[in-house]
Amino acid sequence: MSASAAQLRHYYRDLFAAYGPQQWWPAQTPFRVAIGAILTQNTAWTAVERSIANLRSATALTLSGLLRQPEETLRELIRPSGHIRRKAATLLAFAHWLKREHRGSLKYLAKLPTEEARHQLLAIHGIGPETADCILLYALNHPAPVVDEYLRRVVTRHHLASEGSSYTDLRQLVSEAFEKSSEQTQQLNEFHALIVQVGKLHCRSKTNCPGCPLEKYLPVSNTN
DNA sequence: CGCCAGGCCGTGT
DNA sequence: ACACGGCATGGC
Spatial distance between the Cα atoms of A153 and A56, rounded to a whole number of angstroms:
35
Q: Which of the listed residues A139, A169, A191 is the one where a domain comes to its end?
A: A139
Domain boundaries, position A151:
3-23+145-217
Whether any strand B atom is under 7 angstroms from the Cβ of A1: the reply reads no
Give pLDDT, residue A222.
45
Residue that terminates a domain, selected from A139, A158, A183: A139
Residue A37 vs residues A2, A43, A85, A202, A217: alpha-carbon distances, Å:
30, 10, 16, 23, 31
Tell me the whole-structure pTM to 2 decimals. 0.96
CATH assignment of the domain containing A211? 1.10.1670
Residue A44 resides in a domain: yes
Residues A86 and A116 in one domain: yes
* C-alpha–C-alpha distance, residues A204 and A157, integer Å: 13
CA angle A119, A123, A80 (to 5 degrees): 115
Q: What Rg, from alpha-carbon coordinates, does chain A have?
A: 18
Nucleotide C7 C1' to residue A182 CA (A): 41
What are the counts of helices (DSSP H) followed by strands (DSSP E) for chain A?
12, 0
Per-residue pLDDT tens digits of chain A, which is 224 residues long: 899 999 999 999 999 999 999 999 988 999 999 999 999 999 999 999 999 999 999 999 999 999 999 999 999 999 999 999 999 999 999 999 999 999 999 999 999 999 999 999 999 999 999 999 999 999 999 999 999 999 999 999 999 999 899 999 999 999 999 999 899 999 999 999 999 999 999 987 766 678 899 999 987 654 33
Distance A200 CA to B10 C1' (A): 30
Q: Which residues contact A9 (CB under 8 A, 6 or more apart)?
A: A177, A178
**pLDDT of the residue at A210:** 81
Domain membership flag for residue A222: no
Strand B neighbours among A 2-21, CB < 7 A: none
Helix or strand holding residue A93 (H, E): helix A84-102
The domain tally of chain A equals: 2
